[in-house]
């Protein structure tokens, strides 16, 4: 998994891993969208494979989050996603809202 530096003192380890896995998945969704727009089928195939791997990592993080104590805080995870993932257009499109904070 790419190091996106999502670990922060205000996040639990579970929240950080969940946010990181989600942002990485959104990174590859964004790259697939760009490849489609460019008609670059080789790049699309490559990024789709990486998207599958990122989605598998997101599934694993979500499974851990389901059983975590304390329960991951939705607002904290969304804040981390929108703050650290804002350069990915999939994050901007899907999460434009009120969870963005300044840091």
Q: What is the pLDDT of residues 14-61, one digit of tens each?
A: 999 999 999 999 999 999 999 999 999 999 999 999 999 999 999 999
Q: State the pTM of this model.
A: 0.84
Residue 3's pLDDT band, with cuts at 50, 70 and 90, is very low
pLDDT (0 to 100) of residue 74: 93
Contacts made by residues 52-61, CB under 8 angstroms, sequence distance 24+: 54/1, 54/21, 54/24, 54/25, 54/27, 54/28, 55/25, 57/1, 57/21, 57/24, 57/25, 58/18, 58/21, 58/22, 58/24, 58/25, 60/21, 61/14, 61/17, 61/18, 61/20, 61/21, 61/22
């Amino acid at each position: 998994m790419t190091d996106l530096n999502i670990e922060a003192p205000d996040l639990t380890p579970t929240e950080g891993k969940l946010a990181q896995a989600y942002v990485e998945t959104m990174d590859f969704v964004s790259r697939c969208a760009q490849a489609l727009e460019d008609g670059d089928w080789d790049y699309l195939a490559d990024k789709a494979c990486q998207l599958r791997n990122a989605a598998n990592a997101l599934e694993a993080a979500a499974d851990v989050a389901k059983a975590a104590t304390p329960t991951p805080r939705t607002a904290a995870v969304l804040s981390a996603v929108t703050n650290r993932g804002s350069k990915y257009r999939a994050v901007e499109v899907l999460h434009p809202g009120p969870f963005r904070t300044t840091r």
